[in-house]
Amino acid sequence: MIQNTVMKTRFILTWRDLDADNLAEREFFNEKGKDHSGSIAALNLASVIDGHCWPWKIEKVLPEGGKELTSHNWGGATL
C-alpha cells in the first residue's frame, strides 16, 4: 500500500517550572528539507530550561500514536 500523506516528525518538550510550580509543554516539528530541525529546536529550548535546573523531557511522537522518550534531565523522565 502506498501512503500519499507525508507525516511530519513531532517532538514534545515538557518541563516543570519549579519557581511557579506549573507544568509546561511545547511542540516542535521538523521543517521541510531540514533533517532533525525539530529535535534541535527542542534541545535549544531545553538547554535554557536546564540552566534553571528544572526537570524536562523530550519525547518523539511515533506514527502509531505512542511516544518515545529521547532525552531528559533533572529527573524529567518522571514528568
CA 53 to CA 60: how far, in whole Å? Answer: 22
pLDDT(6) > 70: no
By percentage, how much of the chain surpasses pLDDT 70? Answer: 91
pLDDT(46) > 80: yes
Residues 6+ away with beta carbon under 8 Å from 19: 52
CB 76 within 8 A of CB 57: yes
Which stretch, 5-9, 19-23, 63-67, has highest mean pLDDT? 19-23
pLDDT(22) > 90: yes
